[in-house]
Amino acid sequence: EPIPEDLGSFTDEARKVFVETTTAQEEVGGARSAIDTLNTRLGERREQLDARERDIDLREDLLRAAEVRIEERITELRALESRISGLIKQRDEEEANRFQNLVTMYSAMKPKDAARVFDGLDTAVLVEVAAALDPRVMGEIMAALNPETAQRLTVSLMNRAIQSETPLAIEDLPQI
């Protein structure tokens, strides 16, 4: 309400109350406007925060789903690894059995017959078979081998023995 120009009809006390009341009403009106603006801004901010919370919740759900898929994949890979390890072990055992059967077969042969076969074998195969044979049986076969094959086999067996030796550790060397 506008302040009447003629406040003369009011007492000083009444004029003072009127002016204070009018000023207070203007301040309250301005404050209400500020409160309304503040409430509007807070509402907008709340909406932004709610949208952000929904976005974060969606991302968390996606991360949980990804973690579940990763765990499932890890489980599948571990099962596959176990299966592959089992197959490799089985193949190695079968290979070892075949090799042992080969060694048994050569052990059962007459030394001259085994020597004829050994003369035509590749050096790598010959070394593996010779190393697995009983030394007495191998000695008889060596005696019947072609001298060049016997020499090549002897050198290869020695090289294999040298390579399989463990090197000396620094602590085992003589102190200076």
pLDDT in tens, 91-119: 999 999 999 998 999 999 999 999 999 88
DSSP states of 97-130: HHHHHHHHHHHHS-HHHHHHHHHHS-HHHHHHHH
Structure-block tokens of residue 153: 């086999």
DSSP 10-26: S-HHHHHHHHHHHHHHH
- Which of these, 122, 127, 166, 120, lies nearest to 145 by C-alpha position? 120
Mind listing the pLDDT tens digit for each residue in 27-79?
555 556 767 788 888 889 899 999 999 999 999 999 999 999 999 999 999 99
The Cα 110–Cα 5 span in angstroms is 142
pLDDT for residue 91: 96
**Which residues have CB under 8 Å from 103's CB, separation 6+?**
129, 132, 133
List CB contacts of 166: < 8 A, sequence separation 6 or more.
Answer: none
